[in-house]
Amino acid sequence: RRHLITLEELSLAEIDQIHATATAFKKILGRSVKKVPALRGKTIVNLFLEPSTRTRMAFDMAAKRLSADVISLDGASSSTTKGETLRDTAENIQALNADMIIIRHAASGSPLYLSNILDIPVINAGDGAHEHPTQGLLDTFTMKEHLGSLKGRKVVILGDILFSRVARSNIHALTKMGANVTLVGPATLVPHWFTDLGVKVSHDLKSALADAEVVMLLRIQHERQSSGHFPSLGEYTSMFGLNKTRASWLNPKAIIMHPGPINRGVEIDSELADGDRSVILEQVSNGIAVRMAVLYLCSGGQPESVVTTD
Give the number of other Cβ atoms within 10 Å of residue 249's Cβ. 16
How would DSSP label each residue in 189-203? Answer: TS-GGGGGGT-EEES
Please select the residue that binds ligand CP; options are 53, 149, 195, 207, rule is CB under 6 A. 53
* Least Cβ distance, residue 260 to ligand CP (angstroms): 5
Q: Is 132 annotated as a binding residue?
A: yes
**Contact between 98 and 72 (Cβ < 8 Å):** no
Cα separation, 247 vs 224, whole angstroms = 28
* Least Cβ distance, residue 237 to ligand CP (angstroms): 20
CB of 162 or CB of 201, closer to ligand CP: 162
* Least Cβ distance, residue 287 to ligand CP (angstroms): 8
Stretch of 48-56, 90-98, 112-120, 245-253 lying at the interface with ligand CP (CB under 6 A): 48-56
Q: Is 82 annotated as a binding residue?
A: yes
CB of 38 or CB of 60, closer to ligand CP: 60
**Contact between 242 and 278 (Cβ < 8 Å):** no
Q: For residue 117, which of 91, 153, 139, 95 has the smallest C-alpha distance? A: 91
* Least Cβ distance, residue 295 to ligand CP (angstroms): 16
Please select the residue that binds ligand CP; options are 37, 178, 261, 265, rule is CB under 6 A. 261
Q: Is 264 annotated as a binding residue?
A: no
Please select the residue that binds ligand CP; options are 109, 260, 275, 303, rule is CB under 6 A. 260
CB of 136 or CB of 186, closer to ligand CP: 136
Cα separation, 7 vs 176, whole angstroms = 10
The β-bridge relationship of strands 214-217 and 255-257 is parallel
Give the number of other Cβ atoms within 10 Å of residue 20's Cβ. 13
Number of residues this chain uses to bind ligand CP (CB under 6 A): 11
Q: Is 225 annotated as a binding residue?
A: no
Q: Is 260 annotated as a binding residue?
A: yes
Count Cβ atoms within 10 A of the Cβ of residue 196 and give its class: 0-12 exposed, 13-18 middle, 19 or more buried: exposed
Distances (CA, A) of 126 to 52, 58, 268: 10, 13, 23
Q: According to the binding rule CB under 6 A, does residue 75 interact with ligand CP?
A: no
* Least Cβ distance, residue 127 to ligand CP (angstroms): 12
CB of 126 or CB of 241, closer to ligand CP: 126
Q: According to the binding rule CB under 6 A, does residue 135 interact with ligand CP?
A: yes
How would DSSP label each residue in 2-69? Answer: --B--STT--HHHHHHHHHHHHHHHHHHHTT-----TTTT-EEEEEESS--SHHHHHHHHHHHHTT-E
Please select the residue that binds ligand CP; options are 26, 65, 123, 126, rule is CB under 6 A. 126
Please select the residue that binds ligand CP; options are 42, 54, 64, 277, rule is CB under 6 A. 54
Please select the residue that binds ligand CP; options are 259, 286, 292, 297, rule is CB under 6 A. 259
* Least Cβ distance, residue 98 to ligand CP (angstroms): 21
Q: Which residues of 40-58 are buried (b: 16+ CB within 10 A; e: fewer)?
A: eebbbbbbbbbebeebbeb
Beta bridge partners of 56: none
**Contact between 86 and 101 (Cβ < 8 Å):** no
Q: Specify binding-site residues.
A: 54-55, 82, 104, 132, 135, 165, 219, 260-261
Q: Specify binding-site residues for L-aspartate.
A: 82, 165, 219
- For ligand CP, the binding residues (CB under 6 A) are 52-56, 126, 132, 135, 259-261
